[in-house]
């Protein structure tokens, strides 16, 4: 089990492997965890889900982190809030943040 030290792994009797969610499933997980939080219309969650292959717990953590960041300013969850929260999840896992494709943004073209 990657991410767990050998001593922690020895305490588990069973290890159940789950497949990582697909981009459409990640989008659903984002929607679930953001719930009724105020999300900026400019945030493209479809692009977020397609660009960052996070698993459910990481999405939950990132959604909460972004929501708390937005709450500090009494505003909506913006693309920058989501990106900072995602970066934090990758760093916590000891992984590099994937480089988005060229000319890619987490924001929609809507205003």
Instruction: Yes or no: say if 19 and 81 are a contact pair by the CB < 8 Å rule.
Output: no
CA distances to 5, 49, 86 from 60, rounded to whole Å, are: 23, 13, 10
The residue that leads in pLDDT, 101 or 49, is 49
Q: How confident is the model at residue 15 (pLDDT cuts 50, 70, 90)?
A: confident
Phi, psi of 15 (to 5 degrees): -125, 120
Average pLDDT of span 101-106: 59
Q: How confident is the model at residue 111 (pLDDT cuts 50, 70, 90)?
A: very low
| 85 pLDDT above the threshold of 80 | yes
pLDDT at 42: 92
pLDDT single digits (tens) 27-61 = 999 999 999 999 999 999 999 999 999 999 999 99
């Amino acid at each position: 089990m990657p991410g767990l030290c050998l001593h922690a792994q020895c305490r588990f009797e069973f290890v159940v492997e789950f497949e990582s969610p697909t981009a459409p499933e990640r989008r659903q997980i984002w929607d679930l965890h953001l719930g009724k939080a105020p999300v900026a219309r400019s945030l493209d969650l479809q692009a977020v889900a397609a660009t960052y292959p996070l698993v459910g717990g990481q999405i939950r953590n990132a959604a909460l982190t972004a929501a708390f960041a937005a709450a500090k300013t009494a505003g909506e969850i913006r693309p920058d809030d989501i990106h900072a929260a995602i970066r934090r999840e990758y760093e916590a896992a000891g992984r590099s943040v994937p480089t988005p494709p060229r000319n890619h943004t987490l924001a929609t073209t809507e205003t």
